[in-house]
Amino acid sequence: MKNRLPLVVSLVFTALLILGFSIPFGTLPALGPFFHPTQGFLANAETSPVRGAVTIRTGLTHQPVSVYYDDRQVPHIFAQNDHDLYFAQGFVTARDRLFQMELQIRAASGKLSEWLGEGQLERDRYQRRLGMAYGAELKLQEVLKDTTIFNAVQAYANGVNAYIRTL
């Protein structure tokens, strides 16, 4: 009987572990599917860092744009005009931080509960009372008056949208 005790303890521990990884905890997802190597969050991890120079050719830039990624994955953009520079900045930012961009928009405009559930409702109400979305709309109206700034913002947004179309 003493020889079977470690086996029984191991089986019970394994069963509890499987059960524990299968049950969600409040607003947190079940850990098993969350850590799944091909379908969980790890599937979105960057598998191979970009090294060296990358050329952006989308048909939306006036000239080819080179982006050099250094050993710390910091992009250095080389463009021959401002439009292409802002376009490439939008493209690169979306490539590296699209989720963060979307999350920050939702956080500032009081729409996090759409993604994260009812636990964020109070925070969303607070953000809406602050009026960040309204303030952004007012600022956009000011931007539209200055063609130089408007063209820069438009080129950046076009770069973000160009990256999204590659997904």
- Mean pLDDT across the stretch 46-68? 78
Identify the sign of the CA torsion 154, 159, 160, 165: positive
pTM for this prediction: 0.69
Please identify which residue in the block is written with the tokens 């005790």: 5
> Is pLDDT of 76 > 90?
yes
pLDDT band at 47 (very low <50, low <70, confident <90, very high): low
Side-chain half-sphere CA neighbours of 120 within 13 A: 18
Contact 162, 58 (CB under 8 A): yes
73 and 139 fall within a common domain = yes
Same domain, 127 and 53: yes
Mean pLDDT of the chain: 86
Would the CA dihedral through 62, 54, 80, 143 be positive or negative? Answer: positive
Domain that holds residue 112: 46-165
125 and 138 part of one domain: yes
3-state secondary structure of 54: strand
If one counts the domains in the chain, the total is 2
